[in-house]
Amino acid sequence: MQKLNYLLQKVAPLVAVALLFGLAGCKEADQDVKPKTVTDVFFENEDFTILRAAIKHAGLGDALRTSTLTVFAPNDNAFQASGYADAAAITALPAAAVRQILEYHIMATAIKAEDLGTGTNQEVPTLTNAKAYITKTATGTSINGARVIATDLKADNGVIHVIDKLIMPATRTLLELVQGNEQYSFLVAAATRAATANPAVLTALTSENAAYTVFVPTNKAFMDAGFSTVASLQAVGPTALASLILYHTVPGRLFSTNLATGSITTAANKPLRIDINNGLRVSGPGNMGQPALVTRADLLAKNGVIHVIDRLLLP
């Protein structure tokens, strides 16, 4: 009996230590299996302070915890590059508008980078039921012209890919986009007059049966080319204006990431020169020495894409 008591006294501390380690191991295991959802990733990462403010404002926090998702996530730099300097700037928008913007960045399934097929402008449905366009080539991946700068951030309910600017759903046609902004009023006047001679101009800008890319000159670009007023522009013959508008129009949906240095053919069946080596620049033979700079790229319309330029293109 004395020997048994002696053994118990020796063994008891070892058992206690083993139990402590076992309990600690269980606690650590519990921590390891604690889910980290898409929402948790954003709320724990300081690169997404504006995005998480937007998520709170839009009331999407719970939805991003419970569903299986792929999120093309703009980081703080992406918001700032898109004109939203801080959280206050994005939360100044109506909550419903912010929700629509965020849902356009989300797909209702988990898509890893390796699952993305190689191709140009592959259509994918978003939570808004609007299409987004993914391009994957040997040089990288983009969505609606926004470059993917980091892939496959893991969450227990999906995948996160980080992008360098916001993407916006298309809600208007090409013509409606330019009509909604006063700085393009010269172009609207030119297109309206041009259509009297060539209906194909308005068809390209309004029809959703085909997609076009339009390099849109600002009013200042027209003024710098010698058209001081809308009246002076409308004094030009409609046939000449139709040729001018179609020279700024390219068949197909071409985001900035779909363009490479070289030549493309316009709807006027004439060449344009693209140069991506120093910003995105476009020129025709008539202004090869002074190419137009794209000052705002990748404005998505229902029937194409707009790139704003600072000079007229001259064939």
Q: According to the model, what pLDDT value does residue 302 have?
A: 97
Q: 188 and 292 in one domain?
A: yes
Q: According to the model, what pLDDT value does residue 66 have?
A: 87
Count CB atoms within 10 A of the CB of residue 23.
Answer: 10
> Tell me: the pLDDT tens digits for 107-131?
999 999 999 989 999 999 999 999 9
* CATH label of the domain that carries residue 251: 2.30.180.10
Number of domains in the chain: 2
Tokens linked to 2: 């004395």
Last residue of a domain, one of 163, 192, 217: 163
Q: Tell me if 3 is assigned to some domain.
A: no
CA nearest neighbour of 155 among 91, 252, 240, 65? 65
Last residue of a domain, one of 116, 131, 163: 163
Q: Tell me if 144 is assigned to some domain.
A: yes
- Indicate the helix (H) or strand (E) that contains 197: none
Q: According to the model, what pLDDT value does residue 180 have?
A: 84
Q: 219 and 300 in one domain?
A: yes
Q: 297 and 184 in one domain?
A: yes
Q: According to the model, what pLDDT value does residue 277 have?
A: 93
E strands along 145-266, which residues?
Answer: 146-155, 158-163, 212-217, 249-251, 262-265
Q: 179 and 157 in one domain?
A: no
Q: 212 and 148 in one domain?
A: no
The amino acid at residue 212 is Y
- Indicate the helix (H) or strand (E) that contains 248: none
Q: pTM of whole model > 0.95?
A: no
Q: Tell me if 63 is assigned to some domain.
A: yes
CA nearest neighbour of 78 among 100, 116, 47? 47
Q: According to the model, what pLDDT value does residue 289 have?
A: 84
Q: Tell me if 200 is assigned to some domain.
A: yes
Q: 226 and 197 in one domain?
A: yes
Integer Cα distance of 289 and 277 in angstroms: 15
Q: According to the model, what pLDDT value does residue 34 have?
A: 58
Q: According to the model, what pLDDT value does residue 14 have?
A: 44
CA nearest neighbour of 197 among 249, 243, 233? 243
Q: 302 and 179 in one domain?
A: yes
Show the low-confidence residues of the chain (pLDDT under 50): 1-8, 10-31, 33
Range of the structural domain that residue 195 is part of: 174-309
Q: 277 and 191 in one domain?
A: yes
Q: 298 and 194 in one domain?
A: yes
Q: According to the model, what pLDDT value does residue 19 have?
A: 37
> Tell me: the pLDDT tens digits for 234-243?
899 999 999 9
